[in-house]
Chains A and B, each alone.
Chain A
Amino acid sequence: MFWLQYAAPQRLYGLAGRIYPLAFALAAALTAVGLYLGFWVAPADFQQGQAYRIIFVHVPASWMSMVIYVAMAFWAWLGLGFKTRVSGMMTQALAPTGALFCFLSLWTGALWGKPMWGAWWVWDARLTSELILLFLYLGYIALTRAIDDPHRADRAGAVVALVGVVNVPIIYFSVKWWNTLHQGASVSLTKSPSMAAVMLWAMLVMTLAFWAYAVGMAFYRVRQTILEREQDAAWVGELKEIAP
């Protein structure tokens, strides 16, 4: 299969260098469209007034915090199962962005919860499981950075990523499984969305923007991990960016 050639760090370095500028450009363009739709086209909410506009960053950040963790678990599984060299590098490259989105989800949630529920924080199933996700991200980052040997760090990190991924469906279904203060899903695969079309569009465009940003960031960051791990390889010495 042709894409397996990118399992070689050298090929991934080149591919990542071509992808990240496109992903960042796409993220910027989608953000501009998403914010325009969210702030200028979408009307005020009939119940929440203007405060609901937090949704255009809160939901995309929350979704991406889960998507990135699943992506990490996928790479971890690939790394443990097939011993591909770049898997651990991709897992590590994704983690900081996932942690950032998870933090942003909790922060924007607190700023939305205060005016709507009267509380910055409640120990509700949705909020608590998202907080656990943040601790999983931070635990993954701390663990992989504490181990000097890259292969052992990758393996230990992969175990955290794979064990922790059970938390993702718990977050997603928490609003169904428990009685929560957090509202149910506004968008689901089985029902038509419970929100106005333009609001939905703004939210989806912002989600794609965050997605493109995460792709750009992961591919930008993985190049540095590749350079550090392959610093003795001949191809690294020939790169024009390190020519004196």
Chain B
Amino acid sequence: MSWNSWEEFWDMGGYAVFVWGSYGVVFVGVAVELWLALRQRSMVLLALRRSREEAYAGDAP
């Protein structure tokens, strides 16, 4: 165990800005990439569904 209190943990020996600035951007970067990938999937599926519905509508008498 390296920490005596949460204050000490968050302070990171005075390097809080640098340590949390690194981990924060890694977290944000991964979150944004996941969000973009999920959004892309729903957009691709939506476009496929639409084109399929149009194809069905075209077949109708």
Min CB–CB distance A37 → chain B (angstroms) = 11
Question: Which residues on A sit within 8 Å (CB–CB) of B49?
Answer: 242, 244
Is there contact, CB below 8 Å, between A115 and B15?
A: yes
User: Looking at the complex, which of A162-170, A172-180, A224-232 is the stretch in contact with chain B?
Assistant: A224-232
A242 to B14, CA, bound (A): 53
A239 to B26, CA, bound (A): 35
Q: Mark B1-36, 1 if CB is under 8 A from A, else 0.
A: 111000001001111011101110110011001101
Using A40-B2, A224-B40, A244-B49 as known contacts, say yes or no to A51 and B12 having CB atoms under 8 A apart: yes
Chain B residue nearest in CB terms to A45: B13
Residue count of chain A within 8 Å CB distance of chain B? 39
- Chain B contact residues: helix, strand, loop or mixed: helix
Residue count of chain B within 8 Å CB distance of chain A? 31
Is there contact, CB below 8 Å, between A100 and B33?
A: yes
Using A97-B33, A237-B52 as known contacts, say yes or no to A54 and B19 having CB atoms under 8 A apart: yes
A144 to B37, CA, bound (A): 18
Which residues does B use to contact A, with CB under 8 Å?
1-3, 9, 12-15, 17-19, 21-23, 25-26, 29-30, 33-34, 36-37, 40-41, 44-45, 48-49, 51-53
A-B contact pairs, 24 of them (CB 8 A): A40-B2, A40-B3, A49-B13, A50-B14, A53-B19, A54-B22, A57-B23, A61-B26, A96-B36, A97-B33, A104-B26, A108-B22, A108-B25, A111-B17, A111-B19, A217-B33, A220-B41, A221-B40, A223-B41, A224-B44, A227-B44, A227-B48, A236-B48, A244-B52
